[in-house]
Structure 1
């Protein structure tokens, strides 16, 4: 484990260095400029045609899911532990200023996610089972051309492996962590955590298998119910805490904006900490909303929507809901509770949910806070596991054909059990590394196909005007 950790640390330092941040943010800025800030210009239109149609029943043929189900599946993949434990990590290790860079990453990431989803629908194809399949590997192959298929294969290798980390082990580990926190809040002397982890691992394996082997239709049906419910429960709980600590909000926002540019705004005041703040903000922003990673387009490609731009609008909403709303609430909740003296952020704990539970517990009691976090995290993480099982499967199918689907799914289920008992900090680090690696071929494709995104966007809105 120590050898793996040291190798991963070296790769991670390279992958998440300044060049990657420039590629991620620069790619988003390029797409924003080329599409004339579509995420800002058409924000109202995007909300009206996404969240505004949440209660509209859609029809989807065999092998398809409705546009809302596609968005719910993608949002299920993005709204996970990164929205709770990941934000706590960013704030404790990078300071309050990381929230500012989280917002910047999200605003730019809206254009990136919009472009990814648009291209996924534009260049998707049907597999042997009659299901729509798409994503970076398909818009690389069908958009950039067959000579670039190798780049799509590289994306698939990293994404299929990343599914074991970001979409599996990290999520499972945080579920077990939060459940054990609840148990300890009721019984501080409890010593059976390892047994609890094993039981939870088995339960998650069974639940995931039931949904996973039911196909894309069952996955869409589950996520469209699970995602809105879990989001509402968590949002309401955080809003109540923010109202309770409302008097501290001005001071918190002041620390966010000053901490974004000032080393003094960082926990511990480390040398060169402005870069640390930006790095943690961007890393957690990407980990949270996955804009630029190329994961969510694989879910959106299964939509029954035929207009790439209309489905692309769900990408804008997705980043807004995931990062601007849910991540901000997580960050503001722990910062306000800390400002009010209810908890101490100077502990540098990575991937912890204890601080989130403590922040909520300062209003809902310690046990109540632990339960809210455990339930919220379990739902967030489980939905992420389901979505990333689909992503990994699609990548494996692209690489090895349909015969490889079942073996990959079985390995994925085994990793769930392993993730329930492995060291969580290592899982976070490996997930970070793989995120960066899978983003590289996807961002190259997005830049190369940015002209297609511009043409499709102009076509859609010119047709809308002429109607």
Structure 2
């Protein structure tokens, strides 16, 4: 697993974490924002009118209402990215990461408008009478690029596991274990059965379930977040100030947080922003293709609301909870995951400026540091290291009060541990102590720093359960539409079986491994879609202009 994780990190380094990717993603959004005249602002009010159903036409083809399409797409985006993803971004890049998530969402509102409009325009009715759409259909039917459509559909199937399936249940199981002490395998087993029961009903059952879950879970989460933000109201001003200022200076060391460069915060913020709102990824168009509408632009306008609700509102609340509570720079007792842990040669201390500077350069992948990984042996007696000459880094922080145990924390280890290139060679050794934490665990801790006290963690656990479960439901639909395109309707049932099985497996697998898999899958799906919508930029503008001409003509006739 560790070798596979390193392989995923290498891929991510060439794709989502590469310096060029954020510029491509934001560049496409910026281009369409200017080219279409800031549609995310000009059409925002109109989008709410469409969602309300006031502009609906009777007999319009489709399977779901505008609202159901929106909630299905939102259930695919409002998930662990809003709870664990925001925490992960701040953990990596500091407060500045939230600023770049905002920028990604603002430009992403336009990107989503474009991809949904074009995908809805070229949707088809399948053999079973349901609607099917998504970027693969405009790539095939309009661009005549069957190869690109097939590549996108394959990437969608992979991404349905890497984005909507594996990280969702992983975060649910982690949260339920931390809060209620439930075994991850038990959580995964129960929810896998429920997932199977829902997705077997197809888009009609999926739409009914998500249209109930999304509003309820959003209200619950907002109440819990405000309880923390208002409790720490004196920290809101400094939190906002740090988000803005750090975006242009980088985040300095604070507490256990060793700092982040501008480039690192920018990359992580954009990357996590995409994971959260999926603008440009091409997933939401698949849900919107089922909407009852004969004007593609009207459904595209509905999608403008998704990044706004998902990132501008919900992710901002999560970010303010984490920043105002201060937990992002505090160390907590936790069990170290191997993928998060590295053993360095030499002894480093946070109190020494030069040590912090060296670790800052090393962790941010900057040149000029002299940090090297440790190779050698560590002597341990009753769980405590008695040899010197090394430093354990866990979750990008210097670990403290480290304890080595065998299989269970109660069985303290005594003996010699071999370390090669900073990695322990014994798989059965558990390492625990104090360090920074990330993902859902960090958000859970932040929610205990409000008016609800320790009960706040239950809001996160329930919110995480509902958010992530609904995301898994929505992504199963994205995957089965991609399978329908690739192999026909008969391939859907085998896909659903594998989807549910993967959901169960991920409940007890390594969290960092899952997040790294998701990071790779997202980019593999995004690039073909961004290419496709750029090629069709002129058609997009013509389609929008035609919509407004027809809309104004209809208004004139109604008045007459």
TM-score (structure 2 length as normaliser): 0.77
Q: Which residue of 1 aligns with 2:84?
A: 85
CA contact (8 A) 1:259 1:266 kept: no
- 1:284 matched to 2:272: yes
CA contact (8 A) 2:105 2:273 kept: yes
CA contact (8 A) 1:334 1:359 kept: yes
- 1:324 matched to 2:312: yes
Pairwise CA distance, 1:357: 1.9
CA spacing shift, 1:131–1:14, aligned 2, 3 Å: same
Q: Which residue of 2 aligns with 1:190?
A: none
Per mean C-alpha deviation after superposition, the further-off stretch among 335-344 and 200-209 is: 335-344
2-structure distance, mates of 1:99, 1:328: 7
Determine which structure has more spread, i.e. the larger CA radius of gyration.
Answer: 2
The correspondence of residues 64-213 of structure 1 with structure 2, limited to 5 A, is 64-145=63-144, 148-184=145-181, 196-213=183-200
CA spacing shift, 1:54–1:463, aligned 2, 3 Å: closer
CA contact (8 A) 1:342 1:362 kept: no
Q: Deviations over 1:403-430 (max 9, x none)?
A: 2111111000100110111111100001
Q: Deviations over 1:183-227 (max 9, x none)?
A: 25xxxxxxxx5xx21221111111111111111111111111111
Q: Which residue of 2 aligns with 1:249?
A: 236
1-structure distance, mates of 2:206, 2:328: 42
Q: Deviations over 1:319-354 (max 9, x none)?
A: 100000000000011101118999889858675322
Pairwise CA distance, 1:154: 0.7
Q: Deviations over 1:353-387 (max 9, x none)?
A: 22222222122445312211100000000000000
Q: Which runs of 5+ in 1 are unaligned?
A: 185-192
Name the SS for the 1:112 alignment partner. Answer: helix
The correspondence of residues 284-433 of structure 1 with structure 2, limited to 5 A, is 284-338=272-326, 352-433=439-520
Q: Where does structure 1 differ by over 3 angstroms across 4 or more consecutive aligned residues?
A: 54-63, 264-271, 339-351, 364-367
Q: Which residue of 1 aligns with 2:23?
A: 22
Q: Which residue of 2 aligns with 1:189?
A: none
Q: Which residue of 1 aligns with 2:50?
A: 49
CA contact (8 A) 1:62 1:131 kept: no
Per mean C-alpha deviation after superposition, the further-off stretch among 96-105 and 357-366 is: 357-366
Pairwise CA distance, 1:447: 0.3
CA spacing shift, 1:48–1:340, aligned 2, 3 Å: same
2-structure distance, mates of 1:43, 1:62: 24
1-structure distance, mates of 2:200, 2:325: 43
- Alpha-carbon RMSD across the aligned residues, in angstroms, is 2.3
2:524 to 421, 437, 455: 437
Per mean C-alpha deviation after superposition, the further-off stretch among 118-127 and 449-458 is: 449-458
Q: Which residue of 1 aligns with 2:36?
A: 35
1:460 to 541, 547, 554: 547
Q: Which residue of 1 aligns with 2:224?
A: 237
Per mean C-alpha deviation after superposition, the further-off stretch among 395-404 and 299-308 is: 395-404
CA contact (8 A) 2:192 2:501 kept: yes
2-structure distance, mates of 1:301, 1:32: 23
Pairwise CA distance, 1:59: 7.3
- 1:215 matched to 2:202: yes
CA contact (8 A) 1:76 1:227 kept: yes
1-structure distance, mates of 2:499, 2:329: 42
1-structure distance, mates of 2:486, 2:329: 53
Larger strand proportion, structure 1 or 2?
2
Give the number of equivalent residue pairs: 452
2-structure distance, mates of 1:351, 1:126: 44
Q: Deviations over 1:18-61 (max 9, x none)?
A: 222221111111111221111122222223433xx179999788
CA contact (8 A) 1:266 1:277 kept: no
2-structure distance, mates of 1:383, 1:49: 23
2-structure distance, mates of 1:334, 1:60: 47
2-structure distance, mates of 1:391, 1:313: 20
Name the SS for the 1:353 alignment partner. Answer: helix
2-structure distance, mates of 1:266, 1:131: 54
TM-score (structure 1 length as normaliser): 0.92
Name the SS for the 1:432 alignment partner. Answer: helix
2-structure distance, mates of 1:270, 1:435: 27
Per mean C-alpha deviation after superposition, the further-off stretch among 85-94 and 238-247 is: 238-247
1-structure distance, mates of 2:328, 2:229: 11
CA contact (8 A) 2:166 2:506 kept: yes
